[in-house]
Amino acid sequence: MKVLVTGAAGFIGHHVCRRLAETQRAEVLGVDNLNDYYPVALKRARLALLAPYETFRFVQADFADATAFDGIYNHFRPDYVIHLGAQAGVRYSLQNPAAYVHSNLVGFANVLEAVRRHPPRHTLFASSSSVYGTGARVPFREDDITHQPLSFYAATKQANEVMGYSYSRLYGLNLTGLRFFTVYGPWGRPDMTPVMFARAICAGETIKLYNEGRYLRDFTYVDDVVDGLLKVLLYPPAEPPVPPFRLFNLGHNRPIEMRLFVEMLESMLGKKAAVELLPPQPTEMVETCADLTKIHAAVGYAPRVPLEEGLRRFVAWFREYYQFPA
């Protein structure tokens, strides 16, 4: 099968491409613009791990450039599309909202148009647990209210879900959105909590814990995310529903307090953290927790990697890549 993956040099995209390439049953085309939101060297290092696979090819392009993306898509004609490319980051959306309009709105519209003109068997796209705003109740269910986002990033992801629904309804496209919950693991982004906190601990810098460290987050190991994503990919929406559109939570269902998360990192890194306790942030939810009932019933998804094991794997990668000795 032929699979097109956007955001292939990103954190989750890299792991998805690697898993697909390892099976040798899929021809994978990765697309990424390699922007400088965080160091491009990390993205190139991820791509270097994919280069040896004969079934993987990479094209540097911006899917928000309709002409460029259409040319790539029409030439490859994928059987499946996994759209993971996006401008990430909740707090950065306060500083540079135009980047989110460009990638998350214009870019996603381009992907939908390409899919409409030459429909694949199934298209997955990345949403986020951030869509659950002030109206959501823990654990978060896919039918909860999502029209009260706490950040502009969340607003663009909620818009993606509405855009996807409309295209599915109008054109009969098999579309599934996945709401990721705090994904972590090796090759994670440097602006994400595990890398930020680990670097601060090793460098003796202060960690800022908002809401006095009482925020709870549903950390989900990247291998579990890839497992769930690929299971969903191979099972497009069946009739019904009409339209053939679905949304699934993809999380761990075991939230942990951020204070305890820091203590676990301290133990594994062998060094005490300097911590500053701060008030809550207006863009942050008090707790995230995925209700997995729907995705388990659909494809049998159940996370397998406990946080302790996932963090051990993350710390081993972190020490090697950033050259922090034990």
Active site residues: 153
Alpha helices in the chain (DSSP H): 11-23, 40-50, 66-76, 92-95, 97-100, 108-117, 152-171, 193-203, 222-233, 258-269, 293-299, 307-322
42 Rama sector, left if φ>0, alpha if ψ -120 to 50, beta otherwise? alpha
Longest CA span, the chain: 56
H/E segment holding residue 177: strand 175-180
Q: Give the integer Cα–Cα distance in Å for 193 and 180.
A: 15
Fill in the amino acid letter for 37: Y
Provide the token pair at 266. 């301290």
